[in-house]
């Protein structure tokens, strides 16, 4: 007699899942695509002061190697087909950060029907097998600040992790006091002007 | 100056407006060119359904004495045809493309006819599934951007493929719209022979939203926040021309403090925009350090602007008659502190950038544009100056109090290659710092004086019909805004009848159609970035 093997067993390999989750949430790669104003804030978030590379985010130019598509501007009818193609080219799971009002609902250009009323119109048009692993985080603002974008990335990590990452103090700037013990939140701007504690920069 | 078939002559915004009969359109433009008006600034149209006419306007400058003439004509609404001015002014070609797609005016003899048999749409989609073929959205009764056909995105394909007019012996390569070097969704179709570009078709319109139509649906003051979003890097650069034009229509004057605050915001904005330019050019030729540094230093100016205007990027700062907020008290202190440090950084940035052999290879002698070519195609701003043309509107055609005791020099280059375009920006940053120093000194001397007229409410809209053209030499070139007021129409009582944005980026990018030919593929991308783009204002 034969006994059919239980294929479902494979899913019980929980530690692997956990490891994948852990790896995935700590290295979210973004698609290097700037549509409009919000992309400037994306750029500011990527470098000095905000620096999203410290939470594992990296901008890649090809959709075949990214986890996150960041929609940072209005998608109009001419762009829509291209945008849809980018969604299809991204390997799943497709994480989407909808940055700014334009991508959410047409934003300041709501009067014009030439601009789509939000990226969800396109996501809904994706074939079923693509659509079911699209995970969306919305980020309001026109434009959102770079801190907001970092918050959205953390929110996404939270989603992947399935737990609560809200307490991760990544969006704040902590500096030690002169006394060394207490922590103080410092405006990055002020830090630029005054921070000369590091050896090389004393002048 | 004499024109044939002259109907009317008016003055607005320092421009002599001459209206002529349509059959003499070409002849009069030829006369204009003979008089030395070589610089084609813009060509656009205004719809007048009550008169059953569409008015076409062509604005040209004579650079040597900063004279401006606008030629106008009214064509019948049912038979919208004019001869094309491209044989005289090659730089109006793309303006005619745009006027065709927005107003349906056929320009007989337009270069597109030779290749495609029709004038191409550059901003709107050419695919009738996405935008009705015979709708010209800026005609008042066309329905504009409303009630477009529904699209099922799952079944729409190949909406932006080029099918006609390609040469068989060239290899065509699509660049963009999603491309890390184009800095926004712009596309180019390059026809290559080996590595050399022999044919180039700019493909715009990937963020076209129809803003000129949207402006007609809004009250005059509600347009200001949207103008910020035209060029989000130098946002003040679009508020200024619009507000200047509006003030002329409303007969409002601004006091000195208001002017100073405007200059201050404009120059801060110019610095951060030029920094981004230097960074992105350097990034494109693989000098990533400069990009990281400029983004860091740019944040400083963004923060200063936030202190001044309350916003990081989209300022919404200018108002007809003044500015929205008073001068912050501790601004001067903070400025002194951060700028002392910025200057050190800036010196190092110049040093590392100019010492870098990669930059030397990719910039020096690459993509030279002569002064004649730059004027012919209507270039403006730092790109024009890099070609050696001494034309800075802040100096040559002063506005907004730039001529009132503020001393600075314009920067000009000599050969107009990538290096010159970069060096001009370096110098302009230094000059802007100089301007800001003078403005801050004057503001401090004035002390806590009450801010100007905007506190005494300006009338929210013009009461008389009129036309005004405001301009500003922004970080990218001449930002020009044409505002037409027509309060006698009940729908346009509180709304502009027509707002046209003359975008320098649009002009620069479209002129690549000719200037980009003959370049190597890799040099072309460096050339394109060296023009400083901002896609939103290009596509509008
Ligand atoms: S949401 Fe606002 S800031 Fe962002 S792209 Fe749209 S208009 Fe620009």
Same domain, B99 and B229: no
Are B269 and B417 part of one and the same domain?
yes
Largest CA distance in chain A: 85
Q: Do A193 and B334 touch (CB under 8 A)?
A: yes
Instruction: Choose, out of B122, B137, B153, the residue to mutate when testing the contact with A (most A CBs < 10 Å).
Output: B153
pLDDT at B49 over 60: yes
d(CA B150, CA B152): 7
pLDDT at B13: 83
Interval A61-94: pLDDT, tens: 888 888 888 888 898 888 888 888 888 888 878 8
Task: Give me the helices (H) in chain A, please.
Answer: 14-26, 38-46, 77-89, 100-105, 120-125, 128-131, 146-161, 188-194
A39 touches chain B (CB under 8 A): yes
The reported pLDDT for the residue numbered A172 is: 42
Mutate to test the interface with B, among A33, A52, A69, A111 (most CBs of B within 10 A): A111
Residue B186 domain-assigned?
no
Exposed, middle or buried by CB within 10 Å (0-12, 13-18, 19+), for B113?
Answer: middle
Query: Could you report the per-residue pLDDT of B513-539, keeping only the tens digit for each?
Result: 888 888 888 888 888 888 888 888 888
B510 assigned to some structural domain = yes
Residue B346 lies inside a defined structural domain of this protein: yes
- Take atom 6 of ligand 1 and give the residue whose Cα is closest: A102
Domain carrying residue B95: 1-141
Is A190 contained in some domain? no
Cβ atoms of B222 and B251 within 8 Å: the answer is no
A183-185 and B6-12 as β-strands: parallel, antiparallel, unpaired? unpaired
Spatial distance between the Cα atoms of B398 and B412, rounded to a whole number of angstroms: 18
pLDDT band of B458, cuts 50, 70, 90: low
Where residue B350 sits, what CATH number does that domain have?
1.10.645.10
Residue A108 lies in a domain: yes
Report the residue count for chain B: 540
Plot region of B243 (φ>0 → left; ψ -120 to 50 → alpha; else → beta): alpha
Residue A37 lies in a domain: yes
Residue A60 lies in a domain: yes
Confirm whether A34 is domain-assigned.
Answer: yes
Per-residue pLDDT for A177 more than 80? no
**Model confidence over B218-260: pLDDT tens digits?**
888 888 889 888 888 888 989 999 999 988 888 888 888 888 8
When pLDDT is cut at 50, 70 and 90, the band that residue A173 belongs to is very low
> B131 at the A interface (CB within 8 A)?
yes
CB contact under 8 A, A79 and B313: no
Highest mean pLDDT among A41-50, B301-310, B321-330: B301-310
CA atoms within 13 A on the CB side of B280: 25
| A179: pLDDT strictly greater than 50 | no
Question: Same structural domain for residues B223 and B77?
Answer: no
pLDDT recorded at residue A27: 83
Q: Say if residues B487 and B331 touch (Cβ distance below 8 Å).
A: no
Residue of chain A whose Cα is closest to the Cα of B333:
A193
| CB-ligand 1 contact for A106 (6 Å cutoff) | no
ipTM: 0.82
Same domain, B515 and B382: yes
Per-residue pLDDT at B429: 92
Domain CATH number, residue A25 = 3.40.50.12280
Are B300 and B421 contained in the same domain? yes
Pairing between strand A29-31 and A58-60?
parallel
Q: Please answer yes or no on whether A125 and B131 come within 8 Å at the CB atom.
A: no
Q: Which amino acid residue places its CA nearest to atom 2 of ligand 1?
A: A142
Q: What is the mean pLDDT of chain A?
A: 76
Distance of CA B486 to the CA centre of its chain: 25
* Least CB–CB distance from B217: residue in A32, A111, A113: A111
Query: In B, which residues are within 8 Å of A73 by CB distance?
Result: 207, 536
Name which of B127, B438, B151 is nearest A84 in CA terms.
B151
Is residue A126 packed enough to be buried (19+ CB in 10 Å), middle (13-18) or exposed (0-12)?
middle
Measured from the CB, is residue A102 less than 6 Å from ligand 1?
A: yes
The pair of structure tokens assigned to B382 is: 């730092």
Mark whether B314 and B438 lie in a shared domain: yes
pLDDT at A94: 83
- How much of chain B exceeds pLDDT 70, in percent? 98
How do residues B125-165 score in pLDDT, each as one tens digit?
A: 888 888 888 889 888 888 888 888 888 888 888 777 778 88
Collapsing DSSP to helix, strand or coil, B248 comes out as helix
pTM of structure: 0.87
Nearest Cα neighbor of B267 from B301, B290, B244, B296 is: B301
The domain total for chain A is 1
pLDDT tens per residue, range B362-394: 888 888 888 888 898 989 889 999 988 888 888
Residue A176 in any domain: the answer is no
Domain end point (choices B120, B141, B162): B141
User: Which of A35, A37, A76, A140 has most ligand 1 atoms within 8 Å of its beta carbon, as the pocket-test mutant?
Assistant: A37
Q: Return the pLDDT at A56.
A: 82
Last residue of a domain, one of B98, B125, B141: B141
Q: How many domains does chain B have?
A: 2
Q: Are residues B251 and B367 in the same domain?
A: yes
Structure tokens at B86: 């491209």
Chain A positions in Cβ-Cβ contact with residue B154 (cut-off 8 Å): 125-127
Average pLDDT of every residue of chain B: 86
Per-residue pLDDT band at B436 (split at 50, 70, 90): very high
Residues 216-275 of B with CB under 8 A from A: 217, 225-226, 229, 232-233
**Domain shared by B355 and B222, yes or no:** yes
The pLDDT value given to residue B114: 87
User: Could you tell me if B217 and B135 lie in one domain?
Assistant: no
What is the predicted pLDDT for the residue at B12?
86
Inform me whether the C-beta atom of residue A193 falls under 8 Å from chain B C-beta atoms. yes
Could you give the CA distance from residue B294 to residue B278 in angstroms, rounded to a whole number? 7
- Of B94, B113, B141, which one is at a domain's C-terminal end? B141
Structural domain span for residue A67: 16-160
- Is the Cβ of B324 closer than 8 Å to some Cβ of chain A? no
Residues B244 and B136 in one domain: no
Check whether A163 has a pLDDT greater than 60: no
Residue A131 maps to a domain: yes
A–B CB contacts, 8 A cutoff, strictly below: 153
Residues B368 and B226 placed together within one structural domain of the fold: yes
Whether residue B18 contacts residue B8, with contact meaning beta carbons closer than 8 Å, is answered with yes
Query: Is there a contact between B285 and B362 (Cβ–Cβ < 8 Å)?
Result: yes
Q: Is residue A141 part of a domain?
A: yes
Question: What is the total residue count of chain A?
Answer: 203
């Amino acid at each position: 007699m034969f006994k059919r093997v239980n294929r479902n067993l494979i899913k019980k390999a929980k530690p692997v899942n956990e490891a994948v989750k852990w790896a995935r949430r700590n290295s979210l790669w973004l698609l290097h695509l700037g549509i409009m104003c919000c992309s400037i804030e994306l750029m500011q978030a990527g470098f000095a002061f905000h620096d999203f590379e410290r939470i594992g985010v990296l901008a890649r130019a090809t959709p075949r190697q990214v986890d996150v598509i960041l929609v940072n501007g209005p998608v109009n009818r001419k762009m829509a087909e291209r945008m849809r193609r980018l969604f299809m080219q991204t390997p799943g799971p497709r994480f989407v950060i909808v940055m700014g009002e334009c991508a959410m609902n047409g934003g300041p250009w709501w009067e014009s029907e030439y601009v789509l009323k939000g990226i969800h119109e396109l996501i809904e048009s994706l074939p079923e097998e693509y659509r079911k692993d699209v995970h969306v985080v919305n980020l309001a603002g026109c434009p959102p600040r770079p801190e907001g974008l970092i918050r959205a990335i953390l929110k996404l990590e939270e989603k992947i992790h399935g737990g609560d990452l809200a307490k991760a103090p990544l969006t704040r700037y902590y500096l030690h006091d002169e006394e060394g013990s207490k922590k103080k939140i410092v405006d990055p701007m002020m830090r630029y002007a005054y921070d000369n504690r590091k050896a090389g920069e004393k002048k | 100056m004499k024109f044939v078939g002259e109907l009317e002559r008016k003055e607005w915004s320092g421009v002599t407006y001459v209206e002529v009969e349509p059959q003499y359109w070409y002849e009069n433009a030829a006369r204009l060119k003979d008089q030395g008006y070589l610089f084609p600034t813009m060509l656009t149209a205004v719809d007048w359904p009550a008169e059953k006419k569409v008015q076409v306007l062509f604005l040209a400058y004579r650079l040597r004495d900063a004279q401006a003439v606008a030629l106008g004509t009214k064509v019948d609404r049912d038979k919208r045809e004019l001869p094309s001015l491209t044989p005289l002014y090659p730089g109006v070609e793309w303006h005619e493309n745009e006027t065709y797609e927005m107003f349906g005016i056929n320009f007989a003899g337009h270069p597109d006819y030779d290749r495609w048999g029709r004038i191409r749409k550059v901003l709107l989609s050419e695919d009738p599934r996405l935008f009705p073929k015979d709708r010209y959205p800026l005609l008042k009764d066309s329905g504009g951007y409303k009630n477009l056909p529904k699209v099922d995105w799952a079944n729409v394909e190949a909406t932006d493929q080029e099918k006609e007019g390609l040469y068989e012996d060239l290899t065509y390569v699509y660049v963009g719209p999603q491309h890390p070097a184009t800095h926004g969704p712009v596309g180019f179709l390059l026809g290559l022979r080996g590595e050399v570009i022999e044919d180039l078709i700019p493909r715009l319109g990937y963020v076209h939203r129809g803003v000129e139509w949207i402006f007609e649906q809004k009250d005059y003051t509600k347009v200001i926040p949207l103008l910020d979003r035209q060029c989000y890097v130098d946002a003040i650069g679009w508020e200024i021309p619009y507000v200047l034009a509006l003030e002329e229509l409303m007969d409002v004057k601004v006091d000195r403090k208001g002017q100073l605050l405007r200059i201050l915001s404009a120059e801060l904005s110019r610095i951060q925009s030029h920094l981004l330019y230097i960074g992105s050019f350097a990034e494109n030729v693989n000098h990533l350090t400069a990009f990281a540094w400029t983004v860091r230093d740019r944040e400083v100016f963004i923060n200063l602007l936030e202190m001044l205007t309350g916003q990081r990027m989209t300022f919404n700062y200018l108002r007809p008659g003044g500015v929205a907020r008073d001068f912050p008290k501790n601004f001067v202190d903070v400025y002194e502190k951060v700028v002392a440090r910025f200057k050190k950084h800036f010196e190092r940035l110049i040093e590392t950038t100019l010492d870098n052999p990669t930059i030397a290879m990719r910039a020096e002698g690459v993509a030279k544009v002569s002064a004649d070519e730059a004027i012919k195609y209507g270039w403006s701003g730092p790109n024009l100056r890099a070609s050696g043309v001494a034309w800075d509107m802040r100096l040559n055609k002063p506005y907004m109090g730039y001529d009132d005791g503020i001393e600075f020099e314009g920067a000009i280059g000599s050969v107009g290659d990538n290096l010159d375009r970069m060096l001009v920006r370096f110098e302009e940053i230094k000059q802007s710092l100089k301007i800001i120093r003078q403005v801050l000194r004057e503001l401090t001397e004035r002390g806590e004086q009450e801010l100007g007229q905007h506190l005494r409410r300006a009338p929210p809209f013009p009461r008389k019909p009129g036309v005004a053209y405001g301009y500003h030499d922004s970080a990218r070139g001449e930002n020009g805004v044409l505002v037409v007021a027509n309060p006698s129409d009940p729908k346009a009582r509180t709304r502009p009848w027509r707002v046209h944005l003359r975008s320098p980026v649009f002009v620069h990018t479209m002129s690549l159609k000719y200037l980009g030919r003959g370049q190597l593929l890799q040099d072309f991308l460096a050339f394109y970035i060296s023009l400083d783009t901002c896609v939103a204002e290009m596509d509008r």
